[in-house]
Structures are given as structure tokens and as C-alpha cells.
Structure 1
Amino acid sequence: MSKVIGTQTMNEVSTLAAQSQAVWEEWNNLGVIERVTRLNSWADNVGQRGGDFTAASNLIRFQLHQAEALLAPVHEMPGPTGETNELYTSGRGLFLVTGDESLTVTALAGQLAAVLVAGNCALLAVPASLKRDAEALIGDLVKASAPNRLVALLDSDKTEDAIVSTPICGVAAVAHPATLIAMNRKLAARDGVLVQFVAEDNASQLPLVASPTYLLRFITERTKTINVTAVGGNATLLELGGGEH
């Protein structure tokens, strides 16, 4: 029997995580430019809401501009004669995007835009006061042709469940220092691979979220090698995952 806390059970949280992961590869394989195109449409939809959503739309566009500059280029690396080596970026998987009562719709949109344009899927766990805004962001994202279920909204009391029981590869949080310390301790207590923690403690000025290289925290590097000197003249392909940023 699943444990019930609030309106969502732990099993339901795990199901939402699995559904988001199920469309992750499709989203990641679109490539940076196609993701930017769709997310620009998302920014248009968000901006049309006016009010606080105008600043949210602007921060989305900032992340997309940085993605075009930092993530889209494929870098050619030196290799033996007859071999080409390319370095490019890829998403990492499922991120939890969250915060405490200091979280604003602008901060939420900036976090989510960076996570998505880098090629990831997401769970959102936000305060109850921000639930309608989060629903609006997700609705506008689906209207912009993002895969349905790419982003799933959790109940406000499900942050700990998501940290403890879902296969997240990272957490992006905007919260007060004490809240961030508590989250970090829960992440450190997880078994297995260490989970990336991207923590912002200044919800009003967002020096981290609005920094030019913020989205580099949500990617991994990959190398693609094509050898055209294989036996019989057939090209062979080797693709390797690289380090994380």
C-alpha cells in the first residue's frame, strides 16, 4: 500500500517522475536549436499573460539566448587522419525544480527554462501560493509543442518525497539558506550517485539564475567520433558520455 501524504501518494510521485523520463529522450534528441525554437514560443505565450509573467518571459529568453551561444555550437577536436571528433552537449535526465515561499514565478521560469533548453525533463515542487502560476507555465509550455508530461507538477509537500524516492539527477532550488542546507543534507543521504545541487539563496536579485553560465550546470558533455578508415572503408561511429558541469 502506498503512503499517503496530502493529495498525492509516493507511488503517484514516482509515476509522474517515470512519465516525465519517458519523454526525456525525445526532447533531448531534438537538439539545442529546435528546443530553443519551441521554448521561444513558450516565452511568447508566457509574456502574453502580462504582470509578473512579463519578467518571467524575459528571463526565459535570456536562458535561450545563452543556450544558442554556449550549447548549440559543436566543437571539432583534433584526431588521427581519417577520424573526426566532435564535442557537444546533452541533457542529463530528470531535475527537480523547487523552492520555498521566497520563490517567484520569474525565478521558477528562469530555472525551468535552463533545465529544459539544456535537454532535461523536470518535476516542479512549488509552494501552494505559486501553484496556479506553475500550472500556467506548464500549460503554456504544452501549447508551444513541448512533449506532454515533459514537466510534471507535484503537490507543495512533495519536495522531500521527490528528493528521497525519485531517480533525479539534480535539484535546482531557490530558497532561504536554512532551507537549502536542509535540502542538501537530504540529497547527501541518498544512496548511489551524487545528485547535482544548484542552489540560489537570493530570490529577489537572482545572481545565480540570471548569470550567463547558469545553464551549464544542467548539461553533460558528449564526444562523437567517426572513423572513415575502418576495414572495408565503412565508417564506424563511437559516441561517449563525458564529464558533467
Structure 2
Amino acid sequence: MNNFQGMKNMTDIERLAAQSMSVWEEWNGLGVSGRRALLGAWAENVSQRGGDFAFAAQMIRFHLQQAETLLEPVHDMPGPTGETNELYTAGRGLFLVTGDESLTLSGLAGQLTAALVAGNCALVAVANVLRHETDALLADLVKASAPNRLVLTTEFEKLDDVLQQAPIFGVAAIASEKRLIEINRILASREGVLVQFVAESNVEQLPLIASPTYLLRFITERTRTINITAVGGNATLLELGSGEH
């Protein structure tokens, strides 16, 4: 995971986002089970640091367990004879993971795990008070053999610029209600497709992030249709999805 310091304009931010998105298809293509296996190794690395990292590892494992139940199953859908229809989940793309000065290590781990296991790549922006812990957390992700550039960090001081113009599909933020309202207004002012906003205001108890269904805020649903009735037995595949959940 590379840290980019001293970004001076939006071109730098867009380049940073593009580097993370360059590995998105590879990561999303692993499927939920493949991502869970790798992130499980990440949780083990994090837990070995002890202290607050042990609580962060528990949060990682919690969301991996929920992913096994909520995201991993592929659901059969009704269809005509000779046609197989399946409903499954996939990532949206690039998520910004952030928070104000109240952001904790376990909160960050929960946000990041949800985004990653759902099939997204991530851009992380944290205040300096959590910078050292964030670097350690991401170093353990590299150690677990995550794709290079899957998660990159950006300057916290430039957060509003990132929110305004970076090519992101979603934002996960832990902050005061006042700051969350500010972030929501910035996102609402963007042109184009609406950005998914996953906001947690209870920085102490984290009821949203600790929810078993938190992961569903980071996915999109896709359908896959296989037609086995074509002449000569050829199978045709139709896969439909969208960036909206």
C-alpha cells in the first residue's frame, strides 16, 4: 500500500484513485470466498500486534463471518426451461473510508473490512492521530498478500477535495453528526451518479458498523443467466449488473 504525500491538485487525487481501481476487477473477481480467505489471514496478522489491534481483528473477523452468510451464497431465480438464473453480489468500485478525529482503530477496521470483503477497493483518509495505526493495519494487509494498491491512503487535509471530485462510488465515514451533514452536502453537490454514503455517528458504540447487515451497504446485486437450449448445445451467458444497490 503506497502513501502519496504532498498532493497539490485534483490530478494527483484522480491518479491515486485510478491506481486503486486498476486492481478492482482482479479483487472483485476473487469472489466472496476468495476475499474472505485472504482477509482472514489479515485478521490473524493484526491480532498478533495485541492491544487495540486485537479488538480491530475481532471486528474484521465479525464481518467476515457475516459475509459468509449474507454475501457468499448464490441464489437461484425462476426462469424458463433450459435457462439458469442466478443472483449474486459484487463490489461497486472505489470506496473512500474516513472519519474525523474521533475515528478509532476498530471502527476503521470495520469500515475497511466491509468495503473489501464486499468486493471494493478503497482510499483511506484519517487524521494524524490515527496515522501510525493505519499504516500498521495496511502493512498487515500487504503481508496477507492483498493485491498491490488495493488500499491507498490520501491526505486527511484534502478530504473535502476528494469528496467533491474523486471518482468514488461510495463513502464510509465515522464522525460527529455535524461533520456527517457537511460530508453529505458535499456529496449531494457532485454531478453524475449519486455516491453511496454510509454514515456512523455513534463513535463509541458503533451500532451501525456492528450491525450484521452492515455489509449490504457496500454491494451491488447482479444476475447471471445461462441458456443451454441454443442450437448445437452451445451455452450463452448474460450477466447484468449496475452500480446501484
Q: How far is 1:137 from its partner? A: 1.1
Q: How far is 1:7 from its partner? A: 2.2
**Aligned equivalent of 2:79:** 79
Could you tell me the percent identity over the aligned residues?
A: 67
Indicate yes or no: 2:67 matched with 1:67: yes
Mean Cα deviation higher: 55-64 or 150-159: 150-159
Q: Is the 2:84–2:225 contact (alpha carbons within 8 Å) kept by the matching residues of 1?
A: yes
Paired residue type of 1:61 = R
Give me the CA root mean square deviation: 1.1
Paired residue type of 1:9 = K
Q: How far is 1:231 from its partner? A: 2.6
What is the TM-score with the length of structure 2 in the denominator? Answer: 0.96
Paired residue type of 2:31 = G
Deviations 1:133-167 (A, max 9, x none): 11111111011011011000111212112111211
Q: Is the 2:92–2:243 contact (alpha carbons within 8 Å) kept by the matching residues of 1?
A: no
Q: Is the 2:92–2:219 contact (alpha carbons within 8 Å) kept by the matching residues of 1?
A: yes
Paired residue type of 1:72 = E
**Aligned equivalent of 2:12:** 12
Cα distance in 2 for partners of 1:7, 1:173 equals 23
**Aligned equivalent of 2:38:** 38
Q: Is the 1:223–1:242 contact (alpha carbons within 8 Å) kept by the matching residues of 2?
A: no
Paired residue type of 1:75 = H
**Aligned equivalent of 1:188:** 188
Gaps of 5+ in 2: none
Cα distance in 2 for partners of 1:149, 1:16 equals 9
**Aligned equivalent of 1:3:** none
3-state DSSP of counterpart to 2:156: coil
3-state DSSP of counterpart to 1:152: strand
Q: Is the 1:105–1:133 contact (alpha carbons within 8 Å) kept by the matching residues of 2?
A: yes
Q: Is the 1:125–1:156 contact (alpha carbons within 8 Å) kept by the matching residues of 2?
A: yes
Q: Is the 2:227–2:236 contact (alpha carbons within 8 Å) kept by the matching residues of 1?
A: yes
Paired residue type of 2:150 = L
**Aligned equivalent of 2:23:** 23
Q: How far is 1:16 from its partner? A: 1.2
Q: Is the 2:59–2:110 contact (alpha carbons within 8 Å) kept by the matching residues of 1?
A: yes
Cα distance in 2 for partners of 1:151, 1:103 equals 18
**Aligned equivalent of 2:170:** 170
Paired residue type of 2:60 = I
Gaps of 5+ in 1: 1-5
Indicate yes or no: 2:240 matched with 1:240: yes
Cα distance in 2 for partners of 1:63, 1:158 equals 29
**Count of equivalent residues:** 240
Paired residue type of 1:8 = M
Q: How far is 1:244 from its partner? A: 3.6
Cα distance in 1 for partners of 2:129, 2:21 equals 27
